Structure 1
Amino acid sequence: MHRITMDMDISDMHWKIKGTSKFTRKGASILGIIYFFLFAATIMWTTVVYALPALFPESADDGRVHYGLLVFLWGNMLANYCLCCTTKSFYADHEPRHVPEHWNYCLPCGRHLPPRAHHCLYCDRCVLKRDHHCFFTGCCVGYFNQRRFVLFNLYTCLSALHVLGLLLQYLEILNGPTMERLLSYIFPVMVYEWYVGSMPTFTALVILEMYVCVVACIGCGGLFGWQMMIIRDGQTSYEAVKDIKYFNQRRFVLFNLYTCLSALHVLGLLLQYLEILNGPTMERLLSYIFPVMVYEWYVGSMPTFTALVILEMYVCVVACIGCGGLFGWQMMIIRDGQTSYEAVKDIKRYNFGRTQNLREVFGPYWLLNFVFPMWTKLPGNGIDWTHTKIVKGY
């Protein structure tokens, strides 16, 4: 008898989602895509049009280095994003005449599925080696596009860190190197100062972009780390997360490690920035706190542009932490040859060794993926899997 892949709770959830409108089911993904492109375009515009020209004259060698680094990081980020969105991992093959014993059965689709394939409630399709549904790309992360997702998170994290450093230096030009203005970087203070007219709108936008960079760096860095770990172990996110004991003892520790390292790096940047500030006063330090920033912007004591820069700084911090954590998680389950589902369920029968697990996700020349997007063919097809061992209950 073939196993059914969806329990009653998930099945009930599927039919509830199925009964809603198509826009409602895809609304979260649409909003995620809009968010990504909106903030990416805004941050790139601020950095290229204002920050870099102000920080580095055209004749400066440092300026050319930063322009080149910007092109490299953002080029890889956008290329992997587009490849992740356009590379589908749907199971579209016809069901074989003789269904293997270890295949599962999908209730919504009414068909048998190969091992590690699962039904997505949002795509309403079955996905090969499904890891999870990403709302920022609007698609599922599966067998054929997992490497794109991992590298997208890596380069988003690095891009956010790079832009965060540039925006911090640019804010020093806008506000002056004083602790008094540091308070304006806090989101509420930035909004307040922009509202009251004390902060230019452009400055508030730059601060806002810094917030976006922080969020992107945190989120994508975390996703990249997570993907690399599950790839290393030959797992999907499902397979990795289902290993409760393993997750609590090792996944959780490594996740906190990457989050801690990301936070320490950002903290180090901020501490270095504080060291070069002249005339330190705690009065302006408060302006970088979000509520205070909003208040100062509201009353006009902070220019709108400064408030935006502070907001962007917050975004950069969140991005750095989030992407760093996701990157760490993905690296852990990749290392063990698992998906997130398999990790939670303690399913380890697809662990072919760390090197082979990495090749299974990134291809034969897997290290080159971390330099530029690779179009090498993956060793498998996402359907046929050779088990290292059978785990009861899968």
Structure 2
Amino acid sequence: MDVGAKLKEWLSFFTEPTAKRLMLIANIGGVGYYWVVSLLVFYVNLFVIIPSILSENLGWMRFQWWFFVVAYFNMMLNYLICLSKKSRYTSTEGIVTEEASSKGWGYCVPCQQYSPPRTHHCSVCKHCILKRDQHCFFLGACIGHFNQRYFLVFLFYASISALHAAVCFFTYLNQYFATFLSLDFYCYFFPIATTKWVLGYTPSHLFGILALFYMCLMLGFGCIGFFTFHFQRALHCQTSYEFSHRVTTYSRGPQRNLQEIFGSYWWLAFLVPIPQKQTSDGIVWNKPKELKGY
């Protein structure tokens, strides 16, 4: 893409309808939120919380320190690889209407091209995405055929990292803020904690750790929910669209479905993010079929 086309794409933000403009703002805000919170949690948990709550047990402290580092490293690595793997589809050769219809292809009006089965156009990315599942605002990118495996592993380690940090933050707050199983438990209610902080009764650093605790708790359970849902879809070889429309055309059994996403040794993706050859190219599927709504 040349500079002129890129500039035109950026300037189009000001001419987009309100709904699309809000989605673009959410896309930028989601990425910014992820980076700010993840880096802040990483620093505070490693260099403030863990040394404080485990200072009397160096062996256990080192274990917790490295456990969080490994989980966080895998989360960030899969996040970055997921961003780098594009599932965009751009037609390189013409295809006539009869041929497209026989293959179960649909026509994308915004892209002015025929697209393969399971391909959807994303109004935020402004591209056709192979086997499009969703647009993730925390990544600022679409999840499709070539980056779905990294997205699933990212959710897995994000759950572990967030919940580990939440447990550490709670342990710290229980020692230095308010004992949970006591008459001071009401201090954990965020509106009350916020009022006490504004009035000067709660130190800023404790209020900040309490806020991070709630963020990690919500993100941790949220990622568990997302991972469970999307891993079940992977087992059935379904996208979110296909699940909502009860499409089971492409399922070939749990084992082969996972291999189609992760590669032959699908379990290895959860240990090391080594690329493995997928059994499909995202264009030709085992049972191509025209799906309503594509």
Tell me the distance in 2 between the aligned counterparts of 1:345 and 1:295. Answer: 47
Equivalent in 290, 313, 325 of residue 190 of structure 2: 290
Corresponding position: 1:135 with 2:137: yes
Superposed, 1:296-307 pairs within 5 Å as 296-307=196-207
Checking the alignment, whether the CA contact within 8 Å between 2:166 and 2:214 is kept in structure 1 is: no
Tell me the distance in 2 between the aligned counterparts of 1:168 and 1:67. Answer: 16
Superposed, 1:1-394 pairs within 5 Å as 19-20=15-16, 26-57=24-55, 60-97=58-95, 99-100=99-100, 101=102, 102-175=104-177, 178-179=179-180, 274=181, 280-281=182-183, 284-387=184-287
- TM-score normalized with structure 2 length: 0.87
Task: State the AA in 2 paired with 1:168.
Answer: F
CA RMSD across the alignment: 2.3
Checking the alignment, whether the CA contact within 8 Å between 1:348 and 1:391 is kept in structure 2 is: no
Instruction: Indicate how the Cα distance of structure 1 residues 325 and 392 shifts in structure 2: closer, same or farther if over 3 A, else same.
Output: same
Checking the alignment, whether the CA contact within 8 Å between 1:363 and 1:376 is kept in structure 2 is: yes
Question: How far apart are 1:57 and its partner, in Å?
Answer: 3.4
Checking the alignment, whether the CA contact within 8 Å between 2:117 and 2:289 is kept in structure 1 is: no
Tell me the distance in 2 between the aligned counterparts of 1:383 and 1:42. Answer: 41
Task: State the AA in 2 paired with 1:57.
Answer: S
Question: How far apart are 1:386 and its partner, in Å?
Answer: 1.4
Of all paired residues, the percent bearing the same amino acid is 34
Question: How far apart are 1:389 and its partner, in Å?
Answer: 7.0
Which structure is richer in relative contact order (CA contacts within 8 A, separation 6 or more)? Answer: 1
Question: How far apart are 1:353 and its partner, in Å?
Answer: 0.9
The structure carrying a bigger helix percent of its residues is 1
- TM-score normalized with structure 1 length: 0.66
Tell me the distance in 1 between the aligned counterparts of 2:193 and 2:54. Answer: 28
Moved over 4 A (4+): 16-19, 21-25, 388-394
Tell me the distance in 1 between the aligned counterparts of 2:45 and 2:117. Answer: 46
Tell me the distance in 1 between the aligned counterparts of 2:218 and 2:106. Answer: 39
Checking the alignment, whether the CA contact within 8 Å between 1:120 and 1:127 is kept in structure 2 is: yes
Checking the alignment, whether the CA contact within 8 Å between 2:173 and 2:206 is kept in structure 1 is: yes
Aligned to 2:6: none
Checking the alignment, whether the CA contact within 8 Å between 1:95 and 1:112 is kept in structure 2 is: no
Question: How far apart are 1:312 and its partner, in Å?
Answer: 1.0
Question: How far apart are 1:173 and its partner, in Å?
Answer: 3.1
Helix, strand or coil for the counterpart of 1:112?
strand
Q: Deviations over 1:169-219 (max 9, x none)?
A: 22233236x34xxxxxxxxxxxxxxxxxxxxxxxxxxxxxxxxxxxxxxxx
Equivalent pairs counted in the alignment come to 277
Task: State the AA in 2 paired with 1:104.
Answer: G
Question: How far apart are 1:96 and its partner, in Å?
Answer: 4.5
Helix, strand or coil for the counterpart of 2:281?
coil
Gaps of at least 5 residues in structure 2 are: 1-11
Tell me the distance in 2 between the aligned counterparts of 1:287 and 1:366. Answer: 45
Checking the alignment, whether the CA contact within 8 Å between 1:352 and 1:388 is kept in structure 2 is: no
Instruction: Indicate how the Cα distance of structure 1 residues 80 and 393 shifts in structure 2: closer, same or farther if over 3 A, else same.
Output: closer
Task: State the AA in 2 paired with 1:109.
Answer: C
Checking the alignment, whether the CA contact within 8 Å between 2:91 and 2:114 is kept in structure 1 is: no
Question: How far apart are 1:59 and its partner, in Å?
Answer: 7.0
Aligned to 2:7: none
Tell me the distance in 1 between the aligned counterparts of 2:222 and 2:125. Answer: 24
